Copies of this chain bind each other. A is one copy, B any other.
Amino acid sequence: MPEEVLVLDRTQVRRCAARIDPVAVTEEVLRRHARAEVMLPAEGYMAWRNSEGAYSRSIAMLGALTGSDPVYGLKLINASVGNPSKGMERAGGISLLFDPETARPRLLAEAGYLSALRTAAYTVASLRRLGPESFDAVSVIGCGTLARAHLELIGRYLPQVTRVHAFDTDARRGAGFARWAAERGPAMRVESAPSARACVAASRVVITLTVSDKPYAEIDWFRPGSFVAHVSLDDLCEDVFAGAERLYVDDVQLIAENPRRILGRLLQEGAILPGDAEVADPAREVRRGVVSGTLGEVLIGKVPAARPTDGVVVSNPFGMSILDVGMVNAIRGVAERDGLGTRINLLGTDGEAR
């Protein structure tokens, strides 16, 4: 019997993504996570230097949504920091879904766009629950692939946002981002900030989308009543985590296990506490230096949603494979309904002979 895999390239993934509600998909995965209806095995990680000495790596993340309608899959996301200079996105790879009955790979999708989409969907979901009551501007630090994915979703879900302050250490990349946004229409105006600090100070919603490996943003850079989505790895200094009004994550354990990122290091050092004991007390006061809970716990009502008052609320997702697995599963539904994608038979004519 043939063993078919449905292949979706980026164009097809995008077409499917336009017909789903990526934030609703993300929120449903987060709820399943908060109800412990997921599997998140330790990720495989392999790093090397390419012939130019550029840091290159592969991350293989298995993940599953369990329960009555299970979804099993893998996200392979590789990257080399030298890729942008070759005209390629830094990261790329494939997402797979497995047949729950036979465990065979059944769907393969380009992972770079999906990964950016689910990352932006998480940011929008966190903003809706934990962001300022009202805002019409956002500040974006880092103007690569993730910035474009965020702008697309902000335009779709948060139409009140009309101004985007943007900064990139590479001025050309910043200018390219502003041009790209201008070509998309007049709904959002991108203004280039002269520095990261000026960008942070320009609005009360800050989103970090960089490749920084050294924290730079200090707590006194932020306006009172700010929300910051710390999407990239090492942008916020220790004093932002220690001084935040609230600190939300996607999965405490995944973050704590990875000391290559600042919040993981702070948790391992005990400078920030995981704070599990607090989560059931909706009336508790602000306790700085303690993780307030996960966004999934907020969504199921286990942890209160707290918007910024006079300080800073921090959202710090690790980036769970199950968000990709859930998103690609939603996209598969559209692809199968609309007949998109290419089928390949992994067994070839051997399969026909069996």
Contact = CB atoms under 8 A, between A and B. Distances in A.
Interface in A41-84: 41-46, 48, 50-52, 56-58, 60-64, 66, 70, 72, 74, 76, 78-80, 82-83
A344 interface: yes
27 contacts: A1-B88, A3-B92, A9-B345, A10-B350, A10-B351, A11-B347, A42-B42, A42-B44, A44-B60, A44-B61, A46-B72, A48-B72, A51-B100, A58-B62, A58-B103, A60-B74, A60-B76, A76-B105, A78-B103, A78-B104, A80-B102, A80-B103, A88-B102, A92-B104, A92-B346, A110-B347, A110-B348
A56 B344 CA distance: 23
Contacts of A261: none
A101 interface: yes
Contact of A102 (B3, B86, B344): B86
A70 B48 contact: yes
Given A11-B350, A56-B103, A103-B57, A44 B44 contact: yes
Chain A interface size, under 10 / 10 to 19 / 20 to 34 / 35 or more: 35 or more
A92 B106 CA distance: 11
A265 interface: no
Given A98-B58, A103-B56, A11 B80 contact: no
Contacts of A57: 103
A76 B74 CA distance: 9
Interface string A8-52: 011110100000000000000000000000010111111010111
A354 interface: yes
A349 interface: yes
Interface of A: 1, 3, 7, 9-12, 14, 39, 41-46, 48, 50-52, 56-58, 60-64, 66, 70, 72, 74, 76, 78-80, 82-83, 86-88, 92-94, 96, 98, 100-105, 108, 110, 113, 342, 344-351, 354
Contacts of A105: 76, 78, 92-94
Contact of A64 (B46, B101, B110): B46
A257 to B, nearest CB: 12
B58 A46 contact: no
Contacts of A98: 58, 78
Contacts of A92: 3, 102-105, 346
Contacts of A351: 9-10
Contacts of A72: 46, 48, 58
Contacts of A58: 62, 72, 74, 98, 103
Nearest to A70: B48
Nearest to A96: B76
A147 B103 CA distance: 22
